[in-house]
Structure 1
């Protein structure tokens, strides 16, 4: 079992397969994707070695991320590779939903269990203003298709003071009739969004207090779950999750590690560097990889230091998929 010096166990791998994204979200890539780094992304055989190595060390859940993972033509093969790995019980993916309506059947057939889709506003005009794309209705139809196919769907919305802070009522009305989990995510400071962060950060704590006061109950967190605190209400088909990285003891329950699209292990989303494990992947040597992972895990810090303004090597969230 992968375990760090603080006793945290890592059941959950977030695997980026590309840093390319075709959206221009104002909190992440406001000027669009710029090819300013090596684009020699992990190959399918390397991904197989990686997944098998992590699975042998106790990983049970894999989330495929980007950039936008659906921009890789071999995405169904990547999903299948993850789903067929021994001991992997759950394959998830985070996407902007651009290809959701057209491709969801392929992903499910390959073994996808759950899906997180980014929708920062249910107002089509505001959605377009945030993302640079007028695709909200297409994405919502894709979500309906995913639900009909039995996929667990979560919707990610980044809280932003000047854009969607007032939309909670609209989202709640949607959750009355829609069986998804809405995850409200505090805007995080990255290397290139400091001014935007200063103008738009909203704390999730008042929302948590509002939910509890309105009869929402808090769910118990599974060992392989993400960082959200989740809430349910008997009057709603959907649930709400809050991701509050600036809250006290946020990192105490950390259970996930990250691999970049070029084969670097990131012990934290805001680590000061990625640790190169690609030689082990290219050698197709799972035993060497496992030894390397156990050794590198000794460097994991107790916290991300975000509260002190430290953002590490993360220039924008598309680098590692958040």
Structure 2
């Protein structure tokens, strides 16, 4: 191996960030993420926690410095905490983060922080019980609020709320959500709904652009453009006089593919080179066919040559741009 390993794709982009899903299961059924009646994978088709750890080590060996654990909802996976404890203090891994719906944080926040998780992103699409239930179908807002409080008490370096704004569903809560973030000294990012998987609502009608979100927020808040980054695709603005920054992840209105530094690994061990394309490499086969870590690293290196230039999302299409649900790739 090179003394200065790096994953470089055909377009000269350096991959330093991996999002690893450890389960396709979730205790919510968010309308933009999965169907109401999902069929989840049998246990034998999902990476073991030991295999997850092996994959993380291979990527870190190749220069990846940031790993985000996702799901489904990662904390519904039995013994998930063991994975965080296993990889949380790897040399070369500068940032271990978690994306969660918050439902399990009241139980796990303190242990996750001790295991080495530095930041958490918590999905929160509504502050109203009925709207929250409409979006999540089965979620309980009280549990998420308790989870946010537990995360604050655990002392993470940063806590960020993630909100998918949908016209006619939760767009009336735009400023309420920002005020909640400001009051709690949290950050918040608005994410444009992505056309992944079949859903039971019209995305063309519900889609809410981040350009509109930003315009509306500028009418209510003094926003200062910021060059800050967390290593992902969000573009940030600071709310003057507060500790809160507002991020915008805009896969439709402002394609961020040019400087993409990310790849995703599903809970099936599929290495996806782009969220919005189908190019992938089967890492589970390597793990379960007796091949060594050199073979695993080489497969990852070779995969960089099929990383596409970008995605091609079009919210106006009758069919989704990608047929797999967001929960299948990793949230």
Task: State the distance in 1 between where 2:202 and 2:104 align.
Answer: 28
Q: Structure 1 residues 41 and 52, CA, compared in 2 at 3 Å: closer, same or farther? A: same
Post-superposition offset of 1:15: 0.2
Aligned residue runs from structure 1 range 1-322, under 5 A: 1-35=6-40, 40-133=45-138, 135-151=140-156, 152-193=158-199, 195-211=201-217, 214-222=221-229, 225-282=231-288, 283=290, 285-307=292-314, 309=317, 313-322=322-331
Post-superposition CA distance 1:18-41 (Å, at most 9, x none): 111121112222414323677521
Judge conservation of contact 1:65–1:320 (CA < 8 Å) in 2. Answer: no
Judge conservation of contact 1:161–1:201 (CA < 8 Å) in 2. Answer: yes
SS at match of 2:190: strand
Task: State the distance in 2 between where 1:268 and 1:275 align.
Answer: 12
Task: State the distance in 2 between where 1:108 and 1:139 align.
Answer: 18
Judge conservation of contact 1:271–1:311 (CA < 8 Å) in 2. Answer: no
Task: State the distance in 2 between where 1:31 and 1:134 align.
Answer: 12
Q: Structure 1 residues 88 and 305, CA, compared in 2 at 3 Å: closer, same or farther? A: same
Post-superposition offset of 1:102: 1.6
Residue of structure 1 equivalent to 2:3: none
CA RMSD of aligned residues (A): 2.1
Task: State the distance in 2 between where 1:174 and 1:230 align.
Answer: 17
Judge conservation of contact 1:157–1:185 (CA < 8 Å) in 2. Answer: yes
Decide which moves more: 146-155 or 299-308. Answer: 299-308
TM-score normalized by the length of structure 2: 0.90
Task: State the distance in 2 between where 1:172 and 1:49 align.
Answer: 39
SS at match of 1:226: coil
Task: State the distance in 2 between where 1:45 and 1:262 align.
Answer: 13
Judge conservation of contact 2:31–2:199 (CA < 8 Å) in 1. Answer: no
Post-superposition CA distance 1:133-178 (Å, at most 9, x none): 3521221122122112211211111111121112112112213311
Gaps of 5+ in 2: 1-5
Q: Structure 1 residues 313 and 273, CA, compared in 2 at 3 Å: closer, same or farther? A: farther
Task: State the distance in 2 between where 1:29 and 1:20 align.
Answer: 10
Task: State the distance in 1 between where 2:42 and 2:198 align.
Answer: 16
Decide which moves more: 130-139 or 250-259. Answer: 130-139
Post-superposition offset of 1:215: 2.6
Gaps of 5+ in 1: none
**Count of residues paired in the alignment:** 321
